[in-house]
């Protein structure tokens, strides 16, 4: 079984999220600099909490609308 490659690059992920929003006509919920409004963590960086990795990769930012923080789970769209 092959594992999915995940690239963590803040600027590339921000650009990928903006591109996805423009192409699909999606709203802009994510913080413009990638810093969570609640926990102040960088949402586009990988963090390991209790052995589990969390963070939004470039690949994920280019395919899925960011609606919340992967670290503290704060919602940006409620």
pLDDT 10s digits, 13-56: 999 999 999 999 999 999 999 999 999 999 999 988 777 788 99
Residue 4 pLDDT level (bands cut at 50, 70, 90): confident
What does the pLDDT read at residue 55?
A: 95
Tell me the two tokens of residue 33.
Answer: 């600099």
Residue spans per domain, the chain: 1-78
Residue 1 pLDDT level (bands cut at 50, 70, 90): low
State pTM to two decimals.
0.89
Beta bridge partners of 14: none
CA dist list (Å): 22 to 2, 18, 28, 51, 73: 31, 6, 9, 35, 25
């Amino acid at each position: 079984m092959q594992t999915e490659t995940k690239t963590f690059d803040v600027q590339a992920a921000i650009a990928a999220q903006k591109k996805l929003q423009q192409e699909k006509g999606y709203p802009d919920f994510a913080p413009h600099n990638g810093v969570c409004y609640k926990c102040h963590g960088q949402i586009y960086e990988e963090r390991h909490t209790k052995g589990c990795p969390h963070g939004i990769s470039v690949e994920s930012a280019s395919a899925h609308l960011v609606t919340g923080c992967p670290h503290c789970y704060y919602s940006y769209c409620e």
